[in-house]
Amino acid sequence: MSAVTSSPTPIDVFWMAHDGLPRQAPGSVATTELLLRLAGPLPDRPRIVDIGCGTGAATLPLLAATGGSAVAVDTHAPFLDRLRDEARAAGAADRLRTLDAPMQDLPLPEGAVDLLWAEGSAYLMGFDAALREWRRLLAPGGVLVLTEAVWTTPEPAAGARAFWDAGYPGMRTTAANAVAAEAAGWTVRAVHLLPDEDWAAYYGPLAERIAALRAEGVDPAALDEVAREVDVRREHGADYGYAGYVLAPRPAAG
């Protein structure tokens, strides 16, 4: 009797395509450093929490730039394993703690974070919910920096709308998010639309990995689903982008 070999599921194929990539969302070290400057002065050796850290594309540059310590949060253990390895290689392991926990229910103390960071991850719980739930973590004078998918036109193409509505129906324009943040009690210190190069830094390696998996005979339909976001960006990239927001909570009126 021959052994039964199971085919990879669509989620297996998703991780096959994404594991080991340099980034898990649009961005760059240059953008991380820019947003850090826009965040303004921080305490010496700030306490950082990087939510949805992935493999540490932002965590490691933040540690290097600030000399602070970081808690890196994700729920995909291979990402955290790689981040710990890279932190050791960079001589920063003693300033890093990884945490496998959902961003919706972070087991972290209130008021103990100077810099709360979330590149390309807040959409998993929604922009408004993230601002509401994460606020408690910030120390007095603390700052939240996040990047968020946004419409860059009030009339996006049907193809772009269909793709994003399927996965993130609450997506808004850059300006609408700023208005929502102000209404929720935050001061918007800066908004920065990520450049096209930041998308290429994410989608270039992803497209190469998909091509390699196709050559290996991995399920083409599952790979088509992974590649769809790359195709939509190529066809409708002028209609949407990623914006970085630098936010500070306003003191409650008393």
Number of C-beta neighbours around residue 132 at 10 A = 13
- 26-196+241-249: CATH topology is Rossmann fold (3.40.50)
CA separation for the pair 129, 246 (Å, rounded):
16
Contact (CB, 8 A) for 236 and 160? yes
pLDDT for position 81: 96
Sort strands 240-249 and 186-193 into parallel, antiparallel or unpaired.
antiparallel
Would you call 139 exposed, middle or buried from its count of C-beta atoms within 10 A (0-12, 13-18, 19+)? Answer: middle
CA separation for the pair 78, 75 (Å, rounded):
9
pLDDT for position 4: 40
pLDDT for position 7: 77
pLDDT for position 254: 53
pLDDT for position 252: 73
What are the structural domain ranges in the chain? 26-196+241-249
CA separation for the pair 147, 133 (Å, rounded):
16
Contact (CB, 8 A) for 101 and 75? yes
CA separation for the pair 30, 219 (Å, rounded):
36
Within the chain, what is the greatest distance between any pair of CA atoms? 76
Contact (CB, 8 A) for 119 and 60? no
pLDDT for position 6: 62
Rg (CA), the chain: 19
CA distances (Å), 170 to each of 146, 167, 204, 243, in order?
Answer: 16, 9, 27, 15
Give the list of residues 6+ apart from residue 158 with CB closer than 8 angstroms, or none.
none
The structure tokens listed for 224 are 């088509």
Average pLDDT per block of 10 residues along the chain, 254 residues long:
62 92 94 97 97 97 98 96 97 98 96 97 95 97 98 96 93 97 98 98 96 96 95 97 97 68
pLDDT for position 1: 39
